[in-house]
Amino acid sequence: MDLYFFQFIYSLAHQWWLIDLIGIFFAKYLGYFLILIAAFLILKEKKFQQKVYAFSLIALSVILSRGIIAEAFKFFIARQRPFSVLKIEPLLKYETYDKFMSFPSGHAAFFFALALAVFFLNKKLGWRFIIAALFISLARIFAGVHWPSDVLAGALIGIISALIIKKTLSSYK
């Protein structure tokens, strides 16, 4: 099933240069814009306590998801990336040390945690972040660097991490 969905999405790559550029942008650069927007969201809070809460919610969510849980999985599960297994040309270049770090997707974990944390702070903006996290995740498959199950697991890790942090911080309010 993983291979089928991967091949379906990846088959669109290397067909049209403009679509490839858009895929590369989503997979590699869109996240930087989301981080900047999240920083502005924190800074626009009027009260210092609200700024601390917003920063804590966002920072702890992404640290737990990407920095702790996703890395723990990567340590124990050395899954090869699709370009290594299938001997295909990915749209994104990866060093050889990174070819065994496919599961789970750290990008999906990070950006879904960020998106849900932003959603807790601002529903309208949060939906946009969730859509952007979905585009980033699909673009990582399109680029040939993740399996669909990698991004699904990363998304679940990100969502669960943000929920845990939200619940934990709510008990201190």
pLDDT tens digit at each of 173 positions of the chain: 888 898 888 888 888 999 899 999 999 999 999 999 999 999 999 999 999 999 999 999 999 999 999 999 988 988 888 888 787 878 777 655 566 688 999 999 999 999 999 999 999 999 999 999 999 999 999 998 899 999 999 999 999 999 999 999 987 65
Cis peptide preceding 104, ω within 30 of 0: yes
- Amino acid at position 154, single letter: G
Report how far Cα 58 is from the mean position of its chain's Cα atoms: 13
Q: What is the CATH number of domain 2-170?
A: 1.20.144.10
74 vs 68: CA distance, rounded Å? 10
Q: Where are the domains of the chain?
A: 2-170
Cα(109)–Cα(154) distance, integer angstroms: 4
Buried b (16+ CB within 10 A) or exposed e, 120-135: bbeeeebeebbebbbb
